[in-house]
Amino acid sequence: MKTSKISYLLTALALILCILVTSAAAKDINTRVGTSSFSFLKINVGARAVGMGGAFTGLADDESALYYNPSGIASLEGRRFIAGYHNYFVDLQSGFVGYIQQLSERQFIAGYINYLNYGDFIKTDELGNVDPNGTFGGGDLLMAATFAVKYNDQFMFGVSGKFIYEKLESYSATGAALDLGGKYTSDRGRYQAGVAIQNLGFQFSALGEEKNDLPLTVRGGLAVKPKEIPVMFTGDLIIPIDNNPIYAIGGEYLDFKPFYIRMGWNSFGSNYRTADSDDKWAGMSFGVGFDHKELHLSYAFSPGAELGESHRITLTGGF
């Protein structure tokens, strides 16, 4: 009973921290907003994680750990894959494909590709007249390799090396970055914590004449599974170089296995609303998942106020 009360207290403290951090972050507009390059690197991936508000740094126990915390792949076994599709706001389309291979009892490698397609744009001249040559497009591409080690049953560490390519019409930009991550799991697995540094790198070339910083981000997260409640609670504190701190919380209901229900909230959602918006759902996310043998199918829905709606579907599994 004493341990159960401690679990409830930790969960309550996490929720209180969420409110405090979010309130402080919402007061001022950060002067560095919009100053970093390759902004697509900040778009969360994986329907399961997004359904939990993107609060996944501490949990990081499935294939989408490749994005949130590379050390998390050391909790997987054998050969694993992830394939995801994202119907983003204003008809943007993105996808994420990855493969994970266990080399030994404690060593793991992986590779993945993340892309974003802008769609087609109508060409115009400086005066706004339509160019008879038609349309142009653009997109972003990330290719990465990951190595992770399981130091012991409690600690894991990982690193990803990333090559980044961006193109808009006839202009292109390139860059390189590292993601670093570490994760702790308690003896019985009911408490997990993780930390990650994302996009530690630089641009080789830019779309224009001026190179910008990459969207360096520091993430810290917790995951708690109370002893007598069939819910996994998660919380992340996300500190980007080009914005105010972001807080995310989420939950996954486990009592309907092999069916899962998820819900989350991310404070970044307030940026989707205009000044006179009365949309209270921006920042919320909802998701479901289903296990079938070695496969897991997840879906997530995220309302984005005036920007529209965001849908993700992800298939993960083992060979």
- Residue 269 CB partners (closer than 8 Å, separation 6+): 282, 283, 284, 302, 304, 305
**Range of the structural domain that residue 66 is part of:** 2-318
Report DSSP state, residue 229: S
Interatomic CA distance for residues 126 and 217, integer angstroms: 36
Minimal CA–CA distance to 17: which of 222, 254, 169, 203?
222
Minimal CA–CA distance to 249: which of 238, 261, 260?
238
Q: Which residues of the chain have pLDDT under 50?
A: 1-10, 12-14, 16-27
Omega before 132 within 30 of 0, i.e. cis:
no
The per-residue pLDDT for range 56-87, each reduced to its tens digit, is 999 999 999 999 999 999 999 999 999 999 98
Interatomic CA distance for residues 155 and 151, integer angstroms: 5
pLDDT value of residue 5: 46
Q: Is residue 245 a contact partner of residue 237, using CB atoms and an 8 Å limit?
A: yes
Tell me the whole-structure pTM to 2 decimals. Answer: 0.85
Pairing of strands 231-240, 246-253: antiparallel
**Which CATH number belongs to the domain containing residue 155 in this structure?**
2.40.160.60
Interatomic CA distance for residues 113 and 85, integer angstroms: 12
Domain count for the chain:
1
pLDDT value of residue 100: 98
The per-residue pLDDT for range 279-317, each reduced to its tens digit, is 667 789 999 999 999 999 999 999 876 667 889 999 999
pLDDT value of residue 143: 98
